Amino acid sequence: MKIIEIYERLKKKYGPQGWWPISNIGYHPNDYSYPRKKSQIFEICLGCYLTQNTSWSNAQKAIDNLNKINSLTFEKIKKLSDGKFKEMIKPARYYNQKFKYLREFFAFYENKLKENNIPTREELLNLLGVGEETADSILLYAYKQPEFIVDTYTRRILIKKNLIDWKTSYQEIKDLIQKEFQDEYEKEELVNNYQEFHALLVEHAKHFYIKKPFGTGDEVL
DNA sequence: TTCCAGGCAATAC
DNA sequence: GTATTGCATGGA
């Protein structure tokens, strides 16, 4: 089966997912115009760190905490004490680590991103706490760059469909998917479709790939 | 109670 | 380069 076909079937079954959720707006299905403001770009970057190996509901609690004290922008967060910021992001798990990671990101943001610059993938990967998945998440959702995100759910589903195996590398999986999408869609459509496909894989995995054995019941594919 | 979340870095070999 | 482990909250 072609990966594009999986995408089409997921779209038909679940509909547009409206990722990445934004504070005070939430998910925004069929509206690919976000982020619209610098503060929303910043917020997505923050969320990409906070949701690492953490449920979105927990990451969102951290975002909500910051929003409640009116500190969900770079300039406002900068003014928080270390202790207060840690307290706010505590629900997002590994908060001491993520605090350290984010401090480095804020310095990078201050120096390189404040003037509407777009980070390179390499720059992001050089930051502490940013691996391939987080780098691609920031690029795809915050900066609308055509970089597909390979996560554990993507792997589980593609392994189940016998399209890859457990040792296929991140880059190989990413190339496999991007090649099919590049053949199918125009350049301007790639970002929206990458955003949608990744969100759909997560949604589908939540239904059928959480408990062992992986993939039982996903007859939709 | 146990299991699992929209990973990454440090370490060991 | 591959395998293992620490990180350390909250909901199902």
Residue–nucleotide distance: A93 CA to B1 C1' (Å): 21
**Under 8 Å between Cβ of A191 and A11:** no
Q: How far is the CA of A16 from the C1' of B12 (A)?
A: 45
| Measured CA A178 to C1' C5 distance, in angstroms | 33
pLDDT at residue A213, rounded to an integer = 66
Positions on chain B within 7 A of a protein C-beta: 3-10
Q: Is the CB of A86 under 7 A from strand C?
A: no
Distance measured from the CA of protein residue A121 to the C1' of nucleotide B11, in angstroms: 26
Distant-in-sequence contacts of A11-20, Cβ < 8 A, 24+ apart:
A11/A196, A11/A200, A13/A204, A13/A220, A14/A200, A14/A203, A14/A204, A16/A196, A17/A196, A17/A199, A17/A200, A17/A203, A18/A199, A19/A141, A19/A195, A19/A196, A19/A198, A19/A199, A20/A44, A20/A47, A20/A141, A20/A142, A20/A195
Q: Would the pTM of this model clear 0.85, i.e. be above it?
A: yes
Cα–Cα dist A105/A1, whole Å: 40
pLDDT in the model for residue A93: 98
Could you list the pLDDT tens digit for every one of the 221 residues in chain A?
Answer: 999 999 999 999 999 999 999 999 999 999 999 999 999 999 999 999 999 999 999 999 999 999 999 999 999 999 999 999 999 999 999 999 999 999 999 999 999 998 899 999 999 999 999 999 999 999 999 999 999 999 999 999 999 999 999 889 999 999 999 999 999 999 999 999 999 999 999 999 999 998 766 777 777 77
What pLDDT is recorded for position A212? 66
CA–centroid distance for A87 within its chain: 23
A166: preceding bond cis by omega (within 30 degrees): no
Measured on CA atoms in the order A36, A61, A148, A106, is the torsion positive or negative?
A: positive
Q: Could you identify the residue whose CA is nearest to the C1' atom of nucleotide B6?
A: A51
Task: Please give the single-letter amino acid code of residue A202.
Answer: V
Cα distance between residue A85 and residue A125, in whole Å: 24
Tokens at residue A84, please? 């207060």
Please state whether strand C lies within 7 Å of residue A93 at its CB atom.
yes
Give the nucleotide nearest to A131 (CA→C1'): B8
List of protein residues whose beta carbon is under 7 A from strand B: A 19-21, 47-48, 51-58, 93-94, 97, 127-135, 137, 141, 151-153, 202, 206, 209-212
> How high is the pLDDT of residue A221?
72
